[in-house]
Amino acid sequence: MKTILGTLGLILAASITACGGGDVPAKAAQQASGDFSDKPSQACSLLTDEQVATVVPGHDGGHDQDTSEASMLTDVAMGHCKYYHFGGAEMRWLDVLIYKASSDKGFENINIGKWAHQGSSRSLDIGDIGFLHDLSDTSIMATASKGRTVFELTLNSPDVAAESEQLIELARIVAGKL
């Protein structure tokens, strides 16, 4: 789902920029921020630095990312935090994405449903439904749904195979805070 939403967001951003516009309308920006506007970032506050360091040692503390793509979804707010570590030739990062629907219609846009198991490496006992996806040799994603909230934790690391259990534990922590 992140790939679809991310791709859609990039296409929209490129289209807006190509047409000479670059500003997100105020209403869309307000909808995109939704529940996340009262804190620096709910997504960045879900995990402690020590918890993130289990998969991204020496990370940069996390930074809010653009969530304007959520403006394309009705009744959905989004939070996105990215943690980086660059060390020599090694690069690691953890993406934490949170999608919150304020209505059933909004949840239809983000619901991962039972189809998400297709292509997943295993089901997870997190939230209402959850899965672990092997995206590549260096990238895995834990996706889960809890109520009207869907969240994704994507880890990119050269040691991703050895860190899948730590990523799953981080997903459990996030689910417990939502």
In the chain, at which residue ranges do the beta strands (DSSP E only) sit? 63-64, 76-87, 90-101, 122-124, 129-136, 139-146, 149-156
Mean pLDDT per 10-residue interval, the chain, length 178 residues: 39 35 34 41 89 95 86 88 89 94 90 63 88 90 93 93 93 94
Give the pLDDT score at 26.
32
d(CA 117, CA 178): 22
Indicate the residue type of 75.
D
- Residue 77: other Cβ atoms inside 10 A: 24
Place of tokens 């997504």: 43
What is the number of domains present in the chain? Answer: 1
Give the pLDDT score at 120.
59
Give the pLDDT score at 126.
93
Give the pLDDT score at 118.
60
Give the pLDDT score at 39.
41
Give the pLDDT score at 87.
83
Give the pLDDT score at 88.
78
Give the pLDDT score at 169.
97
Alpha-helical segments (H) within 19-78: 26-33, 42-45, 49-52
- 69 vs 11, 126, 158, 177, CA distance in Å? 10, 26, 29, 24
Give the pLDDT score at 117.
57
Domain that holds residue 96: 2-177
Give the pLDDT score at 10.
34
HSE value, Cβ hemisphere, 13 Å, CA-based, for 82:
9
Give the pLDDT score at 23.
34
Whole-prediction pTM value?
Answer: 0.73
Per-residue burial over 79-111, b = 16 or more CB atoms within 10 Å of its CB, e = otherwise: bbbbbbbeeeeeebbbbbbbbbbeeeebbebbb
Give the pLDDT score at 102.
93
Could you tell me the strand order of the sheet in which 149-156 lies?
63-64, 76-87, 90-101, 149-156, 139-146, 129-136, 122-124
Which CATH number goes with the domain that contains 131? 3.40.1000.10
